[in-house]
Amino acid sequence: MIGNDLRALGGMSAVVNSYVSGGLNGQWPVRYLASFHHKKTLNKLWMAARAFVQLLFWLMSGKVAAVHAHSAARGSFWRKRMYLGVARRFGCKTFLHIHDGSFVQWYEKSLSPASQAAVRETLESVDRVVVLSEVWADQLRVIQPKAHFSAIDNPVAVPDASQLQCEKAASPRRILFMARLWPQKGIYELIEAFASVSSAMPDTLLVCAGDGDLQAVRLRVEQLGIQDRVEFRGWIDGAAKVCELAAAHVFVLPSYYEGVPVGILEAMAWGVPVVASDVGGIAEAMGDAGLLCQAKDVESLQAALERILCSPELAETLGRNGRRRAECRFAVSVVLAALGAMYRDAGLAKLEKSNQQSREATSKG
């Protein structure tokens, strides 16, 4: 399995970490190979080259049956194309797992005809193109109808019932945005919408958790005069993330494009109603757990936020629906079962029980 360094920030690393914590390595003989980290250019080049050499060594040693590559668009795709191409030459099964909601836009608007042809060739040649929703599979079939698609949900850790029993503070009503502070995540539309929401409901607080264009976002907040009602947490994880999800009254993500964001699934697992833009696989994943708005539309975003904040009954219903949906569809055990089914369909074998126990003992050690 190839992807980002598991210490890197972002949804792709979160997905693989969920696989690992959920016991993937105890069920399947998986080795993880990190090929990227969000650091300086030289570091990125070094990691990519080192990963290629390591993979080539394993392939030449006959130790690889399949390569499962987690990919975004742009440079990530070209790196994974290289790894998967060499794996096919050694007769390995290959899985290209696409996480980037901007993949179609990148293909259509940024690539030359020759590069588009290379993308189509890769999608056709791998054994499976793994996507995050059936809607997304349909979009990619337009690019390459000959590809073989498997829709496998992103996993999320579902807290037990005892963790959900804490009472939320009646005031302030907390709106949680948990993503990178980039324009394409809809952060500026959110700030505009929140300025109107907080004008009508002064007891609201917007919590922005993520890295990105912090200085520019702060400036816009100050221009709108709402700096006393917006808090910035930076990138959060672990206990800090749990605290914010437990306290949130609404989770919001008005992105321009997405696959299936892990943040939305985490909010659902915590019983937090969601407001999100109707892009990518969000509507399919969210179902009746929240309200949709149109991307780049401040008025529809504002209306959705106000509707939930003004109706505790609606918020409770949406939160309950999300919790139930997360348990049935996005729990790590459910997703790992789907992943395992794809591996078995490709002719791969699970670990024998003795080997599984040995790996689990090693992992605990």
Q: What is the CATH number of the domain that holds 171?
A: 3.40.50.2000
pLDDT, residue 365, reads 38
Which pairing describes strands 250-253 and 290-293: parallel, antiparallel, or unpaired? unpaired
Q: Is the pTM of this model over 0.85?
A: yes
pLDDT above 90 for 273: yes
Question: Residue 37 has what pLDDT?
Answer: 80
How many domains does one find in the chain? 2
How much is the pLDDT for 164? 73
Q: Which residue has the tokens 């670990």?
A: 351
Cβ–Cβ under 8 Å, residues 274 and 268: yes
* pLDDT, mean of residues 351-360: 52
Question: Rounded to 5 degrees, what are φ and ψ at 259?
Answer: -95, -100
In this predicted model, what pLDDT tens digit does every residue of 40-87 receive, in sequence order?
666 788 899 999 999 999 999 998 999 999 999 999 999 999 999 999
> Cα–Cα–Cα angle for 98, 75, 211, nearest 5°?
80
Residue with tokens 């005069």: 225
| 3-state SS, residue 169 | coil
Average pLDDT over residues 355-362: 46
Domain residues for 339? 2-155+331-364
Helix ranges restricted to H, the chain: 11-21, 24-27, 41-60, 75-89, 103-110, 113-125, 134-143, 187-200, 214-223, 238-247, 262-269, 282-286, 298-309, 312-325, 332-345, 353-364
What pLDDT does residue 40 have?
A: 61
Instruction: Give the integer Cα–Cα distance in Å for 309 and 252.
Output: 12
Contact 291, 307 (CB under 8 A): yes
Mean pLDDT of the chain: 92
Asked whether residue 216 falls in the same domain as residue 120, the answer is no
Q: Are 224 and 111 found together in one domain? A: no
Contact 359, 32 (CB under 8 A): no
Residues 145 and 217 in one domain: no
Among the residue ranges 56-70, 85-99, 345-359, the one predicted with the least confidence is 345-359
Same domain, 257 and 222: yes
pLDDT digits (tens, 9 = 90+) for 190-201: 999 999 999 999
pLDDT in tens, 188-228: 999 999 999 999 999 999 999 999 999 999 999 999 999 99
Buried b vs exposed e over 183-195: b needs ≥16 C-beta within 10 Å? ebbbbbbbbbbbb
